[in-house]
């Protein structure tokens, strides 16, 4: 598990150190952008908001030609015609594919999800202070409303969102005096934005977090479209990319460059990557069983 401050050099350096290990995760879900097609998302660049009726309205609008399924079909056909690469595996993670993957994560052999969740639970208090570090002293005062400072936690390929529970729980427990520039000022307002290609995964995510009265705003679309739409949010953004998803692409560098290009000067990146096989810690057969 790695945290990076927003710097293209630091981000890319961190990614390059782990590329060989991350290649082991190619069987894991990928949400890389479509090849040459239109993004399957609402016409508005922002995602539908989640509070009850708003999400229901979003689901209704999705059936009123606000999504272009022809664009997805075109992307798949073009990738087969004009590229040696296979179509983006994002298309495997429609509602059915996403539900299937959630079942896979609960298998005994698939250690990634439970191990990553345990790491987040153990280190949540330390991580959340990194997310909020100096948030109330942002260089751009336009990011702050009176007595309130804004930050966003954006999870790419969020699925059901269970992994960030510990981080958001820890965020809510931070005393106001530690998350603001003075004890008199309000605590930082943190919005959780789960981004996923599967609407059923977002439904599950919304149900869990609405029950806990968190500020949640789901985004339905690919990584590329999420980066383009959400990087304009005011205040500090923490981009979470977990589950060794970086290893899905044969060459993760273009994704890392795109992520770095959309990071603001005070943004953060939380990157979760599986370790390589090691005779004493993780035999090859353990990794093979998990990913196959």
Q: What is the CA angle 250-241-237, rounded to 5?
A: 135
**34-81 pLDDT per residue, tens:** 333 333 333 332 333 333 334 444 444 444 433 344 556 666 566 556
* Three-state SS letters, 157-168: CCCCCHHHHHHH
Segment of 64-78, 180-194, 219-233 carrying the highest mean pLDDT = 219-233
Mode of pairing for the β-strands spanning 148-156 and 2-5? unpaired
Q: What is the pLDDT at residue 164?
A: 87
- What CA–CA distance (Å, rounded) separates 174 from 189? 12
160 or 79, greater pLDDT: 160
| DSSP string over 25-72 | GTTS---PPPSSS---S-SSSSPPP-STHHHHHHHHHIIIIIS-HHHH
Segment of 8-22, 27-41, 90-104, 224-238 carrying the highest mean pLDDT = 224-238
Give the mean pLDDT of 5-25. 36
270 or 37, greater pLDDT: 270
- What CA–CA distance (Å, rounded) separates 128 from 244? 20
- What CA–CA distance (Å, rounded) separates 135 from 149? 7
Checking if the pLDDT of 236 tops 80, the result is yes
Q: Are 132 and 174 in contact (CB under 8 A)?
A: yes
- What CA–CA distance (Å, rounded) separates 181 from 22? 39
Number of other residues whose CB lies within 10 A of the CB of residue 53: 8
Q: Map out the domains of the chain as residue ranges.
A: 2-33+92-291
Rounded to 10 degrees, the C-alpha dihedral 239/241/242/244 comes to: -150
- What CA–CA distance (Å, rounded) separates 25 from 224? 20
Give the mean pLDDT of 199-209. 81
Q: Which CATH class is domain 2-33+92-291?
A: alpha beta
50 or 93, greater pLDDT: 93
Number of other residues whose CB lies within 10 A of the CB of residue 260: 19
Cβ neighbors of 131 (< 8 A, separation 6 or more) are 151, 153, 167, 171, 190, 236, 238, 268
Checking if the pLDDT of 142 tops 60, the result is no
Question: Sign (positive/negative) of CA torsion 202, 205, 209, 214?
Answer: negative
Q: What is the pLDDT at residue 28?
A: 36
Checking if the pLDDT of 32 tops 90, the result is no
Confidence of residue 5 (pLDDT cuts 50, 70, 90): low
Three-state SS at 216: strand
pTM for this one? 0.63
**Measuring CA to CA, which residue among 191, 201, 251, 245 is closest to residue 221?**
201
Checking if the pLDDT of 261 tops 90, the result is yes
The mean pLDDT value of the chain amounts to: 66
CA distances from 224 to 10, 17, 159, 188, 278 (A): 21, 23, 16, 27, 34
- What CA–CA distance (Å, rounded) separates 27 from 23? 9
CA 148 from centre of chain = 25
CA distances from 181 to 143, 185, 192, 235 (A): 14, 7, 22, 15
140 or 4, greater pLDDT: 4
Helix 253-262 and helix 8-16: axis angle, to 10°? 160
């Amino acid at each position: 598990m790695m945290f990076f401050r927003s710097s293209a050099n630091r981000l890319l350096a961190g990614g390059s150190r782990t590329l060989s290990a991350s290649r082991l995760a190619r069987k894991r879900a990928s949400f890389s952008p479509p090849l040459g097609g239109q993004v399957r998302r609402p016409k508005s660049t922002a995602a539908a908001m989640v509070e009850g009726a708003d999400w229901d309205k979003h689901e209704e609008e999705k059936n009123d030609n606000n999504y272009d399924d022809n664009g997805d079909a075109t992307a798949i056909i073009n990738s087969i015609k004009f590229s040696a690469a296979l179509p983006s595996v994002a298309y495997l993670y429609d509602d059915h594919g996403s539900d299937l993957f959630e079942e896979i994560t609960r298998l005994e052999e698939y250690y990634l999800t439970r191990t990553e969740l345990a790491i987040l639970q153990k280190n949540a208090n330390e991580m959340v202070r990194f997310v909020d570090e100096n948030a109330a002293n942002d260089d751009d005062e336009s990011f702050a409303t009176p007595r309130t400072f804004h930050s966003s936690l954006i999870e790419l390929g969020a699925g059901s969102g269970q992994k960030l529970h510990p981080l958001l729980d820890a965020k809510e427990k931070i005393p106001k005096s530690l998350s603001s520039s003075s004890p008199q000022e309000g605590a930082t307002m943190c919005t959780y934005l789960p981004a996923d290609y599967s609407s059923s995964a977002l439904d599950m995510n919304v149900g869990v977090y609405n029950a806990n009265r968190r500020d949640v705003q789901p985004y339905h679309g690919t990584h590329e479209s999420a980066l383009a739409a959400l990087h304009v949010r005011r205040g500090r953004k923490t981009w979470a990319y977990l589950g060794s998803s970086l290893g899905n692409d044969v060459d993760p560098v273009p994704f890392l460059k795109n992520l770095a290009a959309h990071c603001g000067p005070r943004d953060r990146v939380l990157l979760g990557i599986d370790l390589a096989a090691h005779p004493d810690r993780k035999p090859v057969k353990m990794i093979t069983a998990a990913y196959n």
